[in-house]
Amino acid sequence: MPDARVIPIDGGERRRRTPKPSARDAVAAGAARATGERSRRRTTSPLIDPASAAAAAAATTAGKGGSGAARSKPAARTRKAKVGAEATPEPTTGTPGAAGPSRARSKRPARSSAAATPPAGSAPAAFDELSAATEPDGDDASILTGPEASEWERRIAGGLAFVRRRLTGDIEVDDFGFDPELTDKVLLAMMRPLYERYFRVETRGLENVPAEGGALVVANHSGTVPLDSVMTQLALLDHHSAHRHLRMLGADLVFQTPVIGELARKSGTTLACNADAERLLRRGELVGVWPEGFKGVGKPFSERYKLQRFGRGGFVSAALKTRVPIVPCSIVGAEEIYPILGNMKTLARLLGMPYVPVTPTFPWLGPLGMIPLPSKWIIEFGVPIATDGFAPDAAEDPMLVFNITDQVRETIQHTLYRLLMQRRSVFF
């Protein structure tokens, strides 16, 4: 039963968003909702309110426990009543078999078990859980199917439901700690203006990224602050035809750092080690890796667009082992956002960081210096390098791994030079 708790809320919500209610149904829904509202204000017994026969039926089937509680607990009455009344639009609007009744049926055993326990006084914890799981369903439904529900009302309802799910821990993270909802609606949403307006990112060759199955995106790293990974993530989520989440591999320093480590995990980053890379690729995820690491992000401005050493080629052996294609990705524009003129090595050592940059604006302008320069970005995904043609034990051949690493590196380097030639200026 606790398992069933998590799924129906999201599933139900999705289902409810999709059906477009016809005009008549919508009116009925509106009426039903209004009666709910009115009854709540008057705090008369809403179950005998002029709701339709379906309402009564739904209330009796789904709300046995609710009505029981209502009789003894006036405070609870309005709430339960609302569920009963607002459950009514569902049979009329939703597809009859799927959305409304099936959920009502799934609720019924839980409710009746709750009704068996004495409703007076403090409700047992189990009951709290059940009611919390079922009631907000009705709320979302009334708001989202109501015809007069304006766009912003829907947003408020959605926002509140989001906050409630956060506050009650009613979320799902995968084994790696990836929280898709938080990533999409909060973390990346904050970055979208940066992507669309500020850096005006132009993507090329998105069709080279497979729409499904595992693939390894390998890109150049730059920009002092690794914004390039966030932008690549956004490019693939918003602009790729399959809207894929990019699962990135990060250095262990990321996970040692408070807040950053937590956010990185939640946005789908995991530790850059072969075990994790292979696990993600085997699950058919799109994995992004920046093999230059800190050597790439923290290199001085004079070395811009010169690729550093590509790690130890671990990413190639992971791709070879899981036989997924390697997609070379070249990012132009990220080098100019925070040009590194110098590095405060002593301070870096003190802080345990790989570098503390000195840029034209940082630290001279204080917090203002943290504003990146508005360069124009181009992210180009190159033709994938297939790895399934090699023997299964190819990953054990260091020479082959080195060769493929070099091949990927050269491809990215040449694409960078080509893109730089095409670029009119840094900022436009």
259 binding other proteins? (CB under 8 A): yes
Closer Cβ to other proteins, 64 or 80, answer by number? 80
Site stretch for other proteins (CB under 8 A), options 3-11, 92-100, 214-222, 414-422: 3-11
Residue 261 within binding range of other proteins, rule CB under 8 A: yes
Are 330 and 220 a contacting pair, CB within 8 Å?
Answer: yes
181 binds other proteins (CB under 8 A): no
Binding status of residue 50 toward other proteins by CB under 8 A: no
Does 128 sit near other proteins (CB under 8 A)? yes
252 binds other proteins (CB under 8 A): yes
| Nearer to other proteins among residue 135 and residue 303 (C-beta) | 135
The reply to whether 6 sits near other proteins by the rule CB under 8 A is: yes
Q: Which is nearer to other proteins, 138 or 382 (CB)?
A: 138
Instruction: Name beta bridge partners: 219.
Output: 329
For residues 272-301, which are near other proteins according to CB under 8 A? Answer: 273, 275-276, 279
Q: Which stretch binds other proteins (CB under 8 A): 186-194, 238-246, 257-265, 371-379?
A: 257-265
Site for other proteins in 300-359 (CB under 8 A): none
Residue 69 interacts with other proteins (CB under 8 A): yes or no: no
Q: Which stretch binds other proteins (CB under 8 A): 63-71, 98-106, 138-146, 200-208?
A: 138-146
Summarize as ranges the residues that interact with other proteins (CB under 8 A).
2-3, 5-6, 27, 30-31, 34, 37, 40, 79, 82, 123-126, 128-129, 131-133, 135-136, 139, 143, 146-148, 150, 152-153, 156-157, 160-161, 163-164, 166-177, 252, 255-262, 265-266, 270-271, 273, 275-276, 279
